[in-house]
Amino acid sequence: MSHTLPIKSLLVFDAVMQHGSFVQAAQALHVTPGAVGQQIQKLEDWLRTPLFTRGVRQVQPTADALNYWATVQPALARLHQASDQLRLGQAQEVWLSMPPTLAAKWFAPRMAGFLTRQPGVSLHLSATTALIDFQRDRVDLAIRYFDGHDPALQADLLYADEARLYGAPDYIARLNLATPADLARATLLHTTLQPHWAEWLRVFSPLTAQEISSIAGVHFDQSMLAIEMARHGQGVMLSSPILVETELREGTLCEPWPLNLPVHKGYHVVHPRQATLRPAVLALKSWLLEVAERAQQHTTP
């Protein structure tokens, strides 16, 4: 038996552990499940220990496999990252990740501005709510909604968020919502991004805690869905102003009262703190911050 670590087998093992399946790993690696099985067997022989228990239609990693992967996976991720940095050092490609609603409502209308300024750059956009792992995922920059504190990340603030109330003009008129106290007869649209209705009503209305808890509500895990429901007169929502710019401009949503609740979070451009950004990545980061600053100057009295 060779004393040299079978690197190819190790990469296949990593893929199996990531995908939890020989079949899915084979699809990701563009090989057959049989080829995956052969590489896993080769690694097991080299390590002299079984890594998986085989069932009829599934395989399960052993305790040794889990411990082994926990040790080698960070090193493999760093290997991939270092290789990509060298290979793509001057590449005019950028991988950007952000939440889906921000991508659709804020970034999409502005994207052409960046591509016009940087016509040679190929932009790859991933719209996801999943928390990005820069060591594992192919991402250069991410826009993340949080408080900006993460020792592993360089976080530059795009927008400090606030909770503002929006609804369709017809809905507000139909329910005669003249003051925040009138929201007792409305439907509150709750989102995981802005779960601040109770606090907003405590600050801006005379309603008691019991009255607030009894108000009808619908819950959404995507702000985009809540925006659509509000636009169609199904309730009122709390949102960041940057997510409803189009609806406000078109008049399908309005803000009945200029009451804003700071939420101590915001949208930040993030990347690993020690990362050296390629020129194309640095250009995108600079453009994002410039666009946000320009928008805030435009809205500041």
Residue 239 has pLDDT above 90, yes or no: yes
pLDDT band at residue 92 under the 50/70/90 scheme: confident
Q: % helix / strand / coil in the chain, to the nearest 5?
A: 45, 20, 30
pLDDT band at residue 58 under the 50/70/90 scheme: confident
Residue 88 has pLDDT above 80, yes or no: no
Residue 143 belongs to some domain of the structure: yes
The mean pLDDT value for 99-126 works out to 92
pLDDT band at residue 90 under the 50/70/90 scheme: low
User: Could you tell me how far CA 188 lies from the centroid of its own chain?
Assistant: 24
Are 190 and 207 found together in one domain? yes
Are 270 and 154 found together in one domain? yes
Could you give the number of structural domains in the chain? 3
Are 82 and 15 found together in one domain? yes
Smallest Cα–Cα separation from 18: which of 169, 120, 133?
133
On whether the CB atoms of residues 97 and 286 are closer than 8 A, the answer is no
The mean pLDDT value for 171-191 works out to 97
Look up the CATH number of the domain holding residue 33: 1.10.10.10
Determine the Cα–Cα distance for residues 123 and 280; give it in Å rounded to an integer.
9
Residue 68 belongs to some domain of the structure: yes
Q: Which of 132-136, 207-211, 214-218, 267-271 has the lowest mean pLDDT?
A: 132-136
Are 154 and 278 found together in one domain? yes
What pLDDT is recorded for position 2?
Answer: 65
Determine the Cα–Cα distance for residues 229 and 217; give it in Å rounded to an integer.
12
Give the pLDDT confidence of 1-47 residue by residue, as tens digits. Answer: 567 888 899 999 999 998 888 988 999 899 998 999 999 999 999 99
What pLDDT is recorded for position 76?
Answer: 83
Q: What is the DSSP letter of 51?
A: -
Are 116 and 242 found together in one domain? no
Question: What would the DSSP string read from start to end of 38-59?
Answer: HHHHHHHHHHTS--EEE-SS-E
List the domain range (segments joined by +) for residue 237.
161-262
What pLDDT is recorded for position 298?
Answer: 60
Look up the CATH number of the domain holding residue 206: 3.40.190.10
